[in-house]
Structure formats: structure tokens, C-alpha cells
Amino acid sequence: MHKTALLASDMDGTVIPLTGGPERDAEIDRFRRLIADNPQIALAYVTGRHLSLGLEGVSRHRLPQPDIFVCDVGTAIYLRDGRDQWQRDEMYRGTLQGSWRGRTGPAIAGLLTGLTILTPQEAAKQAEFKQSYYLDRRHDHQAALTAIHACLAAHGLQANVVYSVDPIKEIGLIDILPPIAAKDLALAYLFRKLALPKEQVVYAGDSGNDLLAFVSGFNAIVVSNTAEPVKAEVRRQARAKGIEEHIFFAPTRFAQGVMDGCAHFNLFRTH
């Protein structure tokens, strides 16, 4: 795969709109044409979905076909080969195995059974290196994250524990990942793997589980439908890190916001 730039984007709420209609369809059509006209760009979808659900989303919403899928909140990377088949990146997988000392999601779940405020998500939403829960919005999510970290630490384990909110169901979401797995770390892995200039890497997203990727130091697009508390935290962390020039708060939503951000960062060739 010889590419000179990387556009990595969240799916649901970013390139997949939360509302439908002709305007949204037209935006996706424009996005598909832009990607087709810029073959020098590697397109990656970075999602909480499994690969099969990611592919379903591409088909259902007529999204451009990606070169890379980063699935299960950064815990699995798949590369598309010349035959349009998807191959898991085993080097990345191996690093995750080592970081959890051979444990997988089900083993982690067994260590957290005493935390009754956590409700396990459906089996289809669990993965080899991702254990996911629901958390009632009435509960203090910071206290829940602290309790999870303490419980794992008692067993000599660390984890990335990511909190976000489902904007439709209005329920808290918690993903427990190996300490070296998250969207921002997968993005950094791809940056090294593709040997790209840092300024040619752009990330787009819309929610709390995109926060670490937003402030990772790569160029980032925060689409306008992102919740205000998330935007405020991005601004706060960007100021603290001195990376404000790398953050673009798009004035538009969904795929149009991604395209506006790409234009801001001069990612696409113009004709």
C-alpha cells in the first residue's frame, strides 16, 4: 500500500449521519467522489464496530470503500489486500496480547463481576481485546472508571477505560481495552506503518471516545454535531498541549464536516 496521506474517520455520527434524508445522501455522494479522485489518500474507518458491522455500514450508507478498518475501538486493525480481502494485522494483535499478559475480554469481565453498576453490553459488541458495558447516566462515570481501574490493579493489570455516551439511547458506554489499545494509539501505529509525514495524517470524529485521537497531536476534525462538553474538553486539552492549530472545529455535521476539515488541512488535491 503506497499512500502519501491518511484520513482516519470514526463512522457512526461522523461519516454515517445520525439523521437521514436527501441532503445527507448528497454529502456522502460528494465524499465518495472526493475519495475516488484522491487515490493517494489511505482511507481508514476507526470504529467501535466489528469488521462485519463496519462493512455493513459501508454498504448500507454507500460510503467509499476504505483501505483500512480499525475496529472494536482500536483493538483490531484490518488491511485490504489487492484482492479486496481483509487481513488482520497480526503484529498489532501481538502487541495487545502482550500488554494484557495473554488475557482477553472474557477474562477481564470475570475480574469485574463485583461492580454491579456495570451492565455488560450484548455479546456481539464484545471482542477479543474489548470488554464493553452500559452505565446508567445517573451514576458518576468518573467514580465508575476509578473503581474499574482499582479492581484491575488489584490483579496487577492496567487498562484503557474509555467512557462515552450513546446520543440516541442516552446511556453511558464503557469500553475496557488493553493499556496500549485505543483509537489514538491505533492511529499512531498506522502513522508509523505507512511512514507518512505527521501533517498528512488527519483524524475525524464526533464523540467522547474520539477524545484521545483528537488531542494526539495529529490534525483533527471535530464535526459540529459533537456534544458541547466534548468540544470543551478538546479545547482545554489542546490549549494545555499547545496543539490548538491542529484542531479544526467544523461548522458542519457528519460527512460534510469531514470534507470541510479536509479542505482546511489541504488534504485533498483540487482540480
pLDDT at 271: 47
Q: Which residues pair with 213 in a beta bridge?
A: none
- Please determine, for residue 220, whether its predicted confidence score (pLDDT) is greater than 60: yes
Are both 106 and 160 inside the same structural domain? yes
The verdict on 126 and 229 lying in the same domain is no
pTM value is 0.87
- Pair 10, 78 in one domain: yes
Range of the domain at 201: 5-93+181-264
Residue 189's pLDDT is 95
Q: Are 141 and 172 in contact (CB under 8 A)?
A: yes
Q: What is the mean pLDDT of residues 189-207?
A: 96
pLDDT band of 124, cuts 50, 70, 90:
confident
Residue 164 lies in a domain: yes
Residue 207 located in a structural domain: yes
Q: Can you tell me the mean pLDDT for 115-135?
A: 95
Give the pLDDT score at 182. 84
Indicate whether 195 and 173 sit together in one domain: no
Tell me the pLDDT tens digit for each residue of 222-260: 999 999 999 999 999 999 999 999 999 999 999 999 999
| Cα–Cα dist 141/146, whole Å | 9
* Integer Cα distance of 114 and 175 in angstroms: 17
Find the mean pLDDT for residues 163-168: 86
Specify whether 139 is located in the same domain as 259.
Answer: no
Residue at which a domain ends, from 177, 201, 236 = 177
Give the H/E segment covering residue 264: helix 254-264
Residues 173, 185 within the same domain = no
Q: Are residues 228 and 154 in the same domain?
A: no
Closest CA to 176 of 207, 211, 216, 148: 148
- Work out the pLDDT band at 270, boundaries 50, 70, 90: low
Structural domain contains residue 19 = yes
- The reply to whether 84 and 203 lie within a common domain is yes
Is 205 among the domain residues? yes
Name the pairing type of β-strands 41-46 and 5-9: parallel
Q: Look at residue 270 and tell me if it is in a domain.
A: no
Average pLDDT, the chain: 94
Give the mean pLDDT of 158-184: 90
In a domain, 76, yes or no: yes
Q: Give the chain's domain count.
A: 2
Residue 204 forms part of a structural domain: yes
Name the grid cell of 73: 475501538
Here the CATH number for the domain that contains residue 223 is 3.40.50.1000
- Same domain, residue pair 15 and 82: yes
Please indicate, yes or no, whether residues 10 and 79 belong to a single structural domain of this protein: yes
Domain contains 269: no
Position 208 scores a pLDDT of: 87
CATH of the domain at 122: 3.90.1070.10
Cell numbers 470504529 correspond to what residue? 47
Q: How far is CA 156 from CA 117, 134, 142, 146, 216, in A?
A: 22, 24, 21, 15, 27
Are residues 79 and 210 both part of a single domain?
yes
